[in-house]
């Protein structure tokens, strides 16, 4: 297992170790402080009880019937106390009442008065003492009472706890580094496998997929998502390959037609009608190739987001009328009827060139995919949402399984691929993009040999706007673009 400083494995391990260490240190410090506080308060409670016992004893003196001096009472009480406990009683003037013998050192009195018991820790004679000091009145006499108990064993306990943490922490650090590395390794093994598999997938073999660990976690979702991406890539590359072979075939056919037409014409002297016929063929081939290359260029611009879209108020009906008239000869050549039903005052916010192109694509398709003597109807209708452009025909229709795919780039149904007419499978992809740019929706209703109806719904624009008089910015405000 090789470790790189910035690898996810090392980072995960570092986070894991850092968090464990922070938690352990916090726990250690908290336990230590809590224990220290618990020991101190328990000792203070014990001392408080001892003071109460002392006061009760000297005030009530249950064993002695005659009055006893205070020092004597304190001595008796002291005799019954453990040796380690210290008792000192002074008058406020500093005169010692107990112990009578001048032994031991006096515990210093705090600067402020101790009407309620004062506690402190001090060192006396090499021992640590917890001290209770209290100004009390015993049998009418004001005294300064000091009681103290040795707390050396508390320090021993605290030291032992601290030392065990000091030993425990490095052990925990080592265990958490090892644990972090093992956990990181286990978590990232599937990622390594996926990386290895991804390395071996090339553009020439997109059928392969990444291994999917059945763990139900994010890694499984990641692998599945990548496999979906690969599937889309595979299908796109398959389309592109198909498209490249289609283009090569189309261009080759065009060149072959033009070449053979020219060669045939040059083989011997021809009449001027023959030459004209030959030139017409060449012009037709050039025109269809130009339109094909235009489609390709348009898509390339769309992909590179370089297509300029200038929105302005335009009359949809005028544009459709113009396009229908332009394509009428094509329909006439196939003895088709081309009807137009156009609502007046049909304004939309659009780019005239793009809307023209959209209608050319839809009407041309209707002509292409409708047999001779067929009927094509182009309408601009007013609907509740806005304006609807409808192009319907009674042609070959579209099979249900093809319907979801016809707006994909390069997609051509098998039926249309077998025909002489037909293009590259780019038209509807461009139409969809144009509709999208105009915040319009594009839909198709069709069935095999029951004709097709393509409809594009544009949002409505206020009527009576003049194309030249309305600026794009004003229209943008109207439409809240």
Backbone angles phi, psi at 237, to 5 degrees: -65, -40
Closer of 349 and 391 to ligand ADP (Cβ): 391
Work out whether 425 is an interface residue with ligand ADP (CB under 6 A): yes
Q: Is 427 in the site for ligand ADP (CB under 6 A)?
A: yes
Considering the complex, state which of residue 136 and residue 358 has its C-beta at the smaller distance from ligand ADP. 358
Q: Please identify which residue in 132, 320, 406, 440 interacts with ligand ADP, judged by CB under 6 A.
A: 406
**Contact window for ligand ADP (CB under 6 A) among 38-46, 140-148, 228-236, 404-412:** 404-412
Q: Which listed range, 88-96, 197-205, 228-236, 392-400, lies at the site for ligand ADP (CB under 6 A)?
A: 392-400
CB closer to ligand ADP out of 315 and 452: 452
- Quick note: the x/- pattern for ligand ADP over 438-457, rule CB under 6 A, is --------------x-----
The contacts of residue 108 (CB under 8 Å, 6+ apart) are: 122
Q: Looking at 180, 190, 374, 423, which residue binds ligand ADP (CB under 6 A)?
A: 423
Sign of dihedral through CA atoms 290, 292, 297, 298?
positive
Number of Cβ within a 10 Å radius of residue 354: 22
Sequence-distant (≥ 6) Cβ neighbours of residue 190 within 8 angstroms? 211, 213, 215, 219, 223
Chain-centroid distance, C-alpha 376: 49
Q: Residue 117 or residue 422: which is nearer to ligand ADP going by CB? A: 422
Identify which range of 75-83, 280-288, 329-337, 424-432 contacts ligand ADP by CB under 6 A. Answer: 424-432
Write phi, then psi, for 451 (nearest 5 degrees).
80, 170
Nearer to ligand ADP, 223 or 406 (CB): 406
- Taking CB under 6 A as the criterion, the residue among 133, 146, 416, 457 binding ligand ADP is 416
Pair of tokens at residue 111: 């600067």
Q: Of the two residues 58 and 299, which places its CB atom closer to ligand ADP in the complex?
A: 299
Alpha-carbon distance values, 21 to 9, 16, 166 (Å)? 18, 9, 12
8 A C-beta contact, residue 25 and residue 169? yes
Angle CA(179)–CA(183)–CA(188) in degrees, nearest 5?
150
- How far is it, in rounded angstroms, from Cα 333 to Cα 374? 12
Say whether residue 366 binds ligand ADP (CB under 6 A): yes
Strands 86-90 and 96-98: antiparallel
Stretch in the footprint of ligand ADP (CB under 6 A) among 87-95, 190-198, 281-289, 427-435: 427-435
Looking at the Cβ atoms of 179 and 422, the one nearer to ligand ADP is: 422
**From the CB of 295, what's the least distance to ligand ADP, in Å?**
8
Binding part of the chain for ligand ADP, among 21-29, 270-278, 380-388, 412-420 by CB under 6 A, reads 412-420
> Considering the complex, what minimum distance in angstroms separates the CB of residue 440 from ligand ADP?
17
Residue count at the site for ligand ADP (CB under 6 A)?
23
By C-alpha distance, which of 448, 460, 447 is closest to 347?
460
Q: Does 369 interact with ligand ADP (rule: CB under 6 A)?
A: yes
Is residue 158 within 8 Å of 96, Cβ to Cβ?
no
CA distances from 222 to 6, 195, 228 (A): 21, 12, 10
Give the binding site for ligand ADP (CB under 6 A): 361, 365-366, 369, 393, 395-398, 406, 411-413, 416, 422-429, 452
């Amino acid at each position: 297992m090789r470790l790189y400083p910035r690898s996810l494995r090392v980072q995960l391990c570092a986070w894991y170790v850092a968090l464990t260490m922070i938690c352990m240190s916090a726990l250690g410090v908290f336990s230590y402080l809590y224990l220290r506080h618990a020991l101190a308060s328990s000792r203070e409670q014990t001392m408080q009880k001892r003071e109460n016992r002392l006061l009760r004893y000297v005030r009530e003196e249950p064993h002695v019937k005659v009055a006893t001096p205070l020092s004597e009472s304190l001595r008796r009480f002291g005799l019954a106390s453990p040796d380690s406990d210290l008792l000192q009683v002074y008058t406020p003037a500093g005169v010692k009442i107990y112990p009578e013998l001048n032994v031991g050192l006096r515990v210093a009195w705090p600067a402020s008065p101790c009407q309620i018991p004062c506690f402190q820790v001090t060192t006396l004679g090499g021992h640590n003492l917890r001290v209770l000091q209290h100004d009390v009145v015993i049998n009418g006499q004001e005294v300064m009472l000091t009681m103290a108990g040795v707390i050396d064993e508390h320090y021993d306990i605290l030291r032992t706890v601290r030392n065990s943490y000091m030993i425990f922490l490095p052990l925990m650090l080592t265990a958490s580094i090892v644990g972090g590395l093992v956990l990181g390794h286990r978590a990232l093994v599937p990622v390594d496998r996926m990386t290895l598999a991804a390395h071996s997938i090339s553009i020439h073999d997109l059928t392969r997929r990444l291994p999917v660990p059945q763990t139900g976690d994010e890694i499984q979702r990641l692998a599945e998502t990548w496999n979906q991406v690969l599937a889309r890539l595979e299908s796109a590359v398959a389309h592109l390959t198909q498209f490249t072979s289609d283009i090569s075939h189309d261009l080759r056919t065009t060149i072959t037609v033009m070449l053979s037409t020219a060669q045939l014409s040059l083989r011997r002297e021809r009449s001027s009608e023959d030459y004209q016929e030959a030139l017409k063929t060449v012009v037709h081939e050039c025109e269809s190739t130009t339109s094909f290359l235009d489609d390709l260029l348009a898509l390339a611009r769309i992909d590179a987001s370089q297509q300029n879209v200038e929105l302005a108020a335009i009359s949809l009906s005028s544009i459709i009328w113009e396009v229908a008239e332009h394509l009428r000869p094509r329909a006439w050549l196939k003895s088709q009827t081309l009807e137009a039903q156009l609502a007046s005052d049909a304004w939309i916010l659009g780019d005239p060139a793009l809307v023209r192109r959209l209608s050319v694509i839809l009407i041309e398709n209707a002509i292409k995919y409708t047999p001779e003597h067929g009927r094509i109807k182009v309408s601009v209708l007013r609907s509740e949402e806005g304006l609807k452009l409808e192009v319907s025909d009674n042609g070959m229709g579209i099979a249900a399984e093809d319907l979801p795919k016809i707006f994909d780039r390069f997609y051509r149904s098998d039926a249309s691929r077998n025909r002489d007419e037909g293009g590259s499978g780019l038209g509807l992809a461009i139409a969809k993009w144009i509709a999208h740019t105009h915040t319009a929706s594009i839909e198709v209703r069709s069935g095999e040999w029951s004709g097709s109806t393509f409809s594009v719904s544009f949002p409505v624009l206020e009527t009576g706007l003049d194309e030249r008089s309305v600026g794009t910015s004003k229209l943008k405000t109207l439409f809240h673009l």
